[in-house]
Structure 1
């Protein structure tokens, strides 16, 4: 177990609308190492401060945008006697519902927000210095989000979702430009981690009949188990267990429709050692038992 707290999103965010925006400064910054289940995006409005993430120290200044993905240890600290103002947004993907499904397929945003900050090398700094035009656009959106959050008038959630989506799209576009200027080694490292994740998912989809364990799949993805499960929820909409079950049940449905194998044989072929577990899982996913599904096939 880590020696720092890891906050579940329900401890700090409302479950119905898991979103929060705050203004951070030297008086209210979190100086203690911690991590959290949700995604955090921060933008430096003015001044400068220090940020520790994954064991590395970074200097943040006006115009810097940086991401803290789930389960990443981090903390803030003062830089000499200098003041700063930082906008901090905390949210879970389902705060903006299905709109995030499209954003999750935006490769550059996923690289910036979820993958690059995990690679703690000095040439892979988990921040972007936005150009002046992008700063103005981002600051306008953040000020609108702050105003909606403070007033909470009718429709404020819809307004926040719209501004937040625009903010995230800008972050992804800016990262694409940012990545083009990075050294080749930096791009290769991010690409390697992204491809490792997709390779692990592909392995699950083709080796579902094996006794697969979260720890082994996470190792293939070059991620911690909890983070790999979180990434699956982001990209596939399901946790590790949910996604593996869905893949197995889909394969069993195809076998029920296309072969004369009995239910016990099919259960074994899709990775279930106990027929009772297979029957329960199948009904949970389809609403019917395997036998009823086969009897009502076309």
Structure 2
């Protein structure tokens, strides 16, 4: 995969460590250069994100921030519509790569530049690189990524490298702000599940927006109801339908805390049509109605 953009009419032969593309699904090829960072802006779709040997649900709309060397795959059984930006830290600051690998020293401004990359380098039990985004934030991030892509492709004047770099800095500051404010609640997919149950878990995480019946799953995975439910509960601690509801409530939880999407739209995104059903299940999940929960925990609401 090409990891830089080369000057054509202006700055012929000059290479800037950025590339941009639109994609209908994630690519799972490993990147050999440890210095390449990646931004995936996910507009639509559902799926599972695999990092090393762990799997996590994908947020849409949302952004994924990965540093070089991370082995990442998008396991999307449903189509994902996304934009992808690759960049090298040296685009921001020539000393950052040495600081990131521990082979150099920097000044105050260098560490300020490292700060803006924290959403890419931080990994903990509460953060694996994915952030849900509010529609207004998605729109702004998309505008900046498209502006970077246009400047890299068209190179309209002698300022195209600086203009691309400035849009990148603005995008990184926006992501860093979301990272700083977002209330992160990770929920990796069950790790120690049997091989026969893994495809079912993945299916539920990629099709939870759809109407799913146990009968459909038994036909799809060629197993009877009793066997499926018993094996599923042994691996996950939940019945199949309870686990599906758990996925939906956790997604609603994240959206209510981290976006200002209308509740009706959240219901549509998680595959629930009945208001009373949603309110009842969410209260059982959180102890609050959706409106009460948002008023209590939505950081964007409190910020505004």
TM-score between both structures, scaled by the size of structure 1: 0.48
Instruction: Flag the structure with larger Rg.
Output: 1
Greater helix share, 1 or 2?
Answer: 1
Q: Structure 2 length as normaliser, TM-score?
A: 0.47
